[in-house]
Amino acid sequence: MQTFLEAFLVPAIQAVVVVLLMLLAVAYITLLERKVIAFMQVRIGPNRVGPRGLLQPIADVVKLLLKEDIVPAKADRFVFWLAPILVTMTAIAALAVIPWAGTDATLHVLGYEIRPVITDVNVGIIYVLSISSIGVFGIVLGGWASHSKYPLLGGLRSAAQMISYEVPLGLAIIGALMIAETASTVKIVEWQARHTWLFWLQPVGVLLFYIAGVAENNRAPFDLPEAESELVAGFHTEYSGMKFAFFFLGEYISMIVVSALVVTIYFGGWLPITFGLGYLVPAIPAALSGAWGGPGVHLAFGVFWFALKTFLVLYVYLWLRATFPRYRYDQLMEVGWKFMIPVSLAWILFTGVALLAFDALAA
């Protein structure tokens, strides 16, 4: 019974906590996005609801909940309903393997072991990639089920786009996995704690991964599926109310997932920001990660550093959106197939040769 509870009940509670936190995070990322872009565009942004607009996300949620839920007359009702759920579910599911703090932050409550990650599978990174490819179906189905031309074009675009960018997304991280010799999200951070940030060893890898991640999330400058000036709102043109909100939620959680993954794989996850040079003076990272305290302190510090780094990576998303024009569909494909994939393959080759050379020198 004890093991059953530990295997199912604890992760279930953790999952609920994570999902609720994510909903809150998404709500405030939308506010952050509007404020940051407003700042870049010399305007003020939302400032009417609550002090400095801080209650704006709540007002938005209430508005979406109260909106009429319109289903087009000729839509496939079941698929129309299924699509937003698919997008949100897969985005949330990907969060399961993201570690929020180190194993030293494991809490023991009532004899149950609560680790700061919902589950640590040995193929965690590959799990995230595979689950996020299922999310594509949601968008394609949403575009198709609307029975309308603009959403159809939007859905087709994202199908092509997301499938094309899955490939460089997967190829980009292979270098990192080769060096760390693990695909577990926890172990890869632990490797970085012992050595250095993988960012220093994989600068091209992180760039490729981030660009492919932005494209995979349909964010500017790769936001063609919902290019508002051409395809109105793309695949979710016909959606309203909470169904629309679920697409929105899915998109933003995917952004968090990609940012969290970049932080985990390349920027040392929950480790304090010592730019991967902590091993030189071990006292500094120890102090910055609350080594003097118990697991609770470790957890607080781990979550803090992880959240800070994730926020910084997310900020780049907003920055990109305020800066760049949008790629055209065929140009996007060109960048994906003719640039990203060859470069990531070459980078894998380079990493492999470098590793062999390093081993030969060490031996």
Partner 1 sequence: MFRTQELEINMGPQHPATHGVLRLLLTLDGETIVGMKPIIGYLHRGVEKLSETRTYPQIIPYTDRLDYVASFAENHSYVGAVEKLLGIDPPPRAKYLRVILAEFQRIASHLLWLATHALDIGAMTIFLYTFREREKILDLFEAYCGARLTYNAVRIGGMPFDLPDGWVDAAKRMLDEFPVRLQQYETLLTNNRIWRKRTEGIGVIDADTALAWGLTGPSLRGSGIDYDVRKHLPYEVYDELDFDVPVGERGDTYDRYLVRMEEMRQSRRIILQALENLPDGDVMTRVPKRIKAPAGAEAYFMTESPRGEMSVYLQADGSDKPYRVRFRSPSFNNLQALPVLSKGHMVADVIALIGTIDIVLGCVDR
C-alpha to C-alpha distance for 168 and 170, rounded to whole angstroms: 5
Tokens of 39: 């700042």
Q: To the nearest whole angstrom, how small is the minimum distance from the Cβ of residue 41 to partner 1?
A: 4
Single-letter code of the amino acid located at 25: A
Over the window 167 to 206, marking each residue x when it contacts partner 1 by CB under 8 A and - when it does not, the resulting string is ----------------------------------------
One residue of 40, 62, 346, 353 binding partner 1 per CB under 8 A: 40
Are the beta carbons of 157 and 142 closer than 8 angstroms?
A: no
| 74 is a site residue for partner 1 (CB under 8 A) | no
Give strand pairing partners of 109.
112
| 41 is a site residue for partner 1 (CB under 8 A) | yes
One residue of 180, 198, 231, 318 binding partner 1 per CB under 8 A: 231
Nearest to 167 by CA among 50, 341, 291: 341
Over the window 143 to 162, marking each residue x when it contacts partner 1 by CB under 8 A and - when it does not, the resulting string is ------xx--x---x-----
| 42 is a site residue for partner 1 (CB under 8 A) | yes
Give strand pairing partners of 108.
113
Tokens of 288: 């910055």
Determine how many CB atoms are found less than 10 A away from the CB of residue 337.
14
DSSP notation for 20-80: HHHHHHHHHHHHHHHHHHHHHTTS----SSSGGGTTHHHHHHHHHHHS-----TTS-HHHH
| 350 is a site residue for partner 1 (CB under 8 A) | no
C-alpha to C-alpha distance for 237 and 151, rounded to whole angstroms: 6
Task: At 250, give phi and psi (nearest 5°).
Answer: -60, -45
Tokens of 91: 């985005």
Q: To the nearest whole angstrom, how small is the minimum distance from the Cβ of residue 30 to partner 1?
A: 16
| 45 is a site residue for partner 1 (CB under 8 A) | no
Q: To the nearest whole angstrom, how small is the minimum distance from the Cβ of residue 147 to partner 1?
A: 14
One residue of 230, 304, 312, 337 binding partner 1 per CB under 8 A: 230
Residue that the structure tokens 């093991």 belong to: 3
Determine how many CB atoms are found less than 10 A away from the CB of residue 336.
23
Q: To the nearest whole angstrom, how small is the minimum distance from the Cβ of residue 211 to partner 1?
A: 13
Binders of partner 1 among residues 79 to 118 (CB under 8 A) are: none
| 331 is a site residue for partner 1 (CB under 8 A) | yes
Question: 125-128: which pairs have CB atoms within 8 A and are 24 or more residues apart?
Answer: 125/97, 125/173, 125/177, 125/183, 125/184, 125/185, 125/188, 125/261, 125/265, 126/183, 127/94, 127/96, 127/97, 128/94, 128/97, 128/185, 128/257, 128/261
Q: To the nearest whole angstrom, how small is the minimum distance from the Cβ of residue 341 to partner 1?
A: 19
| 47 is a site residue for partner 1 (CB under 8 A) | no
One residue of 55, 104, 326, 345 binding partner 1 per CB under 8 A: 326
Give strand pairing partners of 113.
108
Tokens of 54: 């801080």
One residue of 328, 339, 342, 358 binding partner 1 per CB under 8 A: 328
One residue of 324, 339, 350, 358 binding partner 1 per CB under 8 A: 324
Q: Determine the interface stretch with partner 1 among 39-47, 58-66, 94-102, 135-143 (rule: CB under 8 A).
A: 39-47
| 228 is a site residue for partner 1 (CB under 8 A) | yes
Of 137 and 319, CB closest to partner 1: 319
C-alpha to C-alpha distance for 90 and 139, rounded to whole angstroms: 12
Of 150 and 311, CB closest to partner 1: 150
Q: To the nearest whole angstrom, how small is the minimum distance from the Cβ of residue 329 to partner 1?
A: 6
Of 63 and 149, CB closest to partner 1: 149
Judged by CB under 8 A, the number of residues near partner 1 is 30
One residue of 83, 93, 131, 220 binding partner 1 per CB under 8 A: 220
Of 113 and 228, CB closest to partner 1: 228
Residues that bind partner 1 (CB under 8 A): 37, 40-43, 149-150, 153, 157, 220-221, 223-224, 227-232, 321-331
